[in-house]
C-alpha cells in the first residue's frame, strides 16, 4: 500500500477503520450550526452549541472514525438545545415525499431491462437524502433521475448477484429517512428471490435524519421484512456499541447490504460478506474509494 493509502485508516488492534481528517473538523462545525438552527432560533443557545462542539473537537483524537466523532457532536447538540430529535418534522416530510415518488420508480424497476440493477441504483441514489452533508438538494426526484442515468463508479454487481444467489439470510443496514423508501423498492425486488430472509436494521435513537423504527414502519417496511434497531445512536454501524441481538445477526448473515458513507466509514474493513451502497459525498471518502464526489458505489469488501 502506498504511503498516501496508509494515511486513510488507523489500526485498533487488528482492525482498521477510516480516521478523521482536519478537513472533517469544519464539516462537524457546519453540521452543529445547521442542526442547532433547526432545533432553536435562540442565537445564544446556537453559540453555546458551537463553543462546546469546538471544545470537544480540540480534545478528540483524529484517529477516531468520523461517525464516532459525529455521535459526540450530536449528543452535545441534543443536551444543550434540549431537543431529542431536531430533524423529526423534516424526516416525516422526507418520508412522505419519497412515498409520493414510490409508484413512479416502482414502475420503472418493473419495466427495466435489468430490474435488480435499476433497483440497486435507485437505492444508492436515494442516499442523497442526507442532512449530515452541506449540499442541499432542491429537487430530489430530478436529482435521482439524473443519478440513475449514470454508471456505477465502483461496480461489483456481478459479485453481488453471485453472492445473492447463495444467500439465505441478508442483513440490510439502513441509513436515512426518505431514502428508506428506495430501500423498500430494492427489498421488494430481492424478495422475488423467494427463500431469502431479509432483516432491516435502523438506528436505536434519533441522530441527524437517520431512520429509526418509526420511520421504517411509516414507509411500510414492516410489511416486507423483519425490522430491528442496531442498539446504537451513532450515524453508522459501530459494532462495539451495537446490541447483542444485532451482533448475532451481523455474524450469522450470509450477506450484508450497508447503506451510506457512515456505514462505509465504520465497516469498510470488517470481515463478512458486506456490500456497500452509497453516494460519495466528500473528497475524503472519494479518495479512499478512488472515485469522485457524486459518484455511485456498489462495492464488495471481499478481497
Mean pLDDT of 176-189: 97
- What is the assigned CATH class of domain 88-300? alpha beta
Q: For residue 8, what pLDDT is reported?
A: 36
The one-character DSSP state at 23 is T
pTM listed for this prediction: 0.90
CB 160 within 8 A of CB 299: no
Q: For residue 13, what pLDDT is reported?
A: 34
Ordered by start, the domain boundaries in the chain are 3-81, 88-300
For the segment 115-164, what is each residue's pLDDT rounded down to a tens digit?
999 999 999 999 998 776 656 677 889 999 999 999 999 999 999 999 99
For the segment 43-102, what is each residue's pLDDT rounded down to a tens digit?
999 999 999 999 999 988 888 888 889 999 999 999 999 999 999 999 999 999 999 999
The one-character DSSP state at 127 is G
Mean pLDDT of 290-294: 94
Check pLDDT > 90 for residue 21: no
Q: Which residues contact 133 (CB under 8 A, 6 or more apart)?
A: 281, 282
Q: For residue 61, what pLDDT is reported?
A: 82
Check pLDDT > 50 for residue 14: no
For the segment 233-242, what is each residue's pLDDT rounded down to a tens digit?
999 999 999 9
Report the length, in residues, of the chain. 303
For the segment 221-270, what is each residue's pLDDT rounded down to a tens digit?
999 999 999 999 999 999 999 999 999 999 999 999 999 999 999 998 88
Check pLDDT > 80 for residue 276: yes
User: Which grid coordinates belong to 202?
Assistant: 435502523
The one-character DSSP state at 84 is S
Please give the share of the chain, as a percent, with pLDDT higher than 70. 92
Which one has a higher pLDDT value, 152 or 20?
152
Q: For residue 9, what pLDDT is reported?
A: 35
Q: For residue 5, what pLDDT is reported?
A: 34
Check pLDDT > 90 for residue 278: yes
Q: How far apart are CA 197 and CA 165, in angstroms?
A: 12
CB 281 within 8 A of CB 179: no
3-state secondary structure of 67: helix
Q: For residue 134, what pLDDT is reported?
A: 56
Q: For residue 67, what pLDDT is reported?
A: 87
Amino acid at each position: 500500500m502506498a504511503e498516501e493509502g496508509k494515511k486513510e485508516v488507523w489500526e485498533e488492534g487488528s482492525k482498521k477503520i477510516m480516521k478523521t481528517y482536519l478537513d472533517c473538523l469544519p464539516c462537524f462545525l457546519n453540521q452543529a450550526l445547521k442542526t442547532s438552527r433547526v432545533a432553536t432560533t435562540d442565537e445564544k443557545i446556537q453559540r453555546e452549541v458551537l463553543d462546546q462542539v469546538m471544545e470537544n473537537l480540540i480534545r478528540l483524537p483524529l484517529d477516531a472514525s468520523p461517525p464516532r466523532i459525529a455521535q459526540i457532536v450530536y449528543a452535545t447538540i441534543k443536551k444543550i438545545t434540549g431537543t431529542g430529535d431536531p430533524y423529526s418534522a423534516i424526516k416525516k416530510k422526507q418520508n412522505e415525499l419519497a412515498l409520493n415518488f414510490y409508484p413512479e420508480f416502482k414502475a420503472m424497476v418493473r419495466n427495466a431491462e435489468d430490474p435488480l440493477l435499476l433497483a440497486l441504483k435507485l437505492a444508492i441514489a436515494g442516499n442523497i437524502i442526507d442532512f449530515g452533508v452541506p449540499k442541499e438538494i432542491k429537487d430530489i426526484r430530478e436529482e435521482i433521475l439524473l443519478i440513475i442515468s449514470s454508471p456505477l463508479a465502483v461496480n461489483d454487481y456481478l459479485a453481488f448477484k453471485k453472492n445473492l444467489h447463495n444467500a439465505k439470510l441478508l442483513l440490510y443496514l439502513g441509513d436515512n429517512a426518505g431514502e428508506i423508501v428506495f430501500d423498500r423498492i430494492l427489498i421488494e425486488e430481492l424478495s422475488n428471490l423467494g427463500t431469502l430472509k431479509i432483516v432491516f436494521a435502523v438506528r436505536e435513537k434519533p441522530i441527524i435524519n437517520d431512520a429509526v423504527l418509526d420511520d421504517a414502519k411509516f414507509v411500510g417496511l414492516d410489511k416486507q421484512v423483519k425490522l430491528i434497531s442496531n442498539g446504537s445512536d451513532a450515524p453508522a454501524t459501530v459494532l462495539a456499541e451495537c446490541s447483542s441481538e444485532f451482533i448475532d445477526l451481523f455474524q450469522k448473515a450470509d450477506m450484508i447490504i450497508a447503506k451510506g458513507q457512515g456505514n462505509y466509514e465504520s465497516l469498510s474493513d470488517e470481515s463478512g460478506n458486506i456490500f456497500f451502497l452509497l453516494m460519495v459525498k466528500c473528497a475524503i471518502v472519494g479518495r479512499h474509494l478512488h472515485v469522485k464526489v457524486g459518484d455511485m458505489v456498489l462495492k464488495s469488501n471481499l478481497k
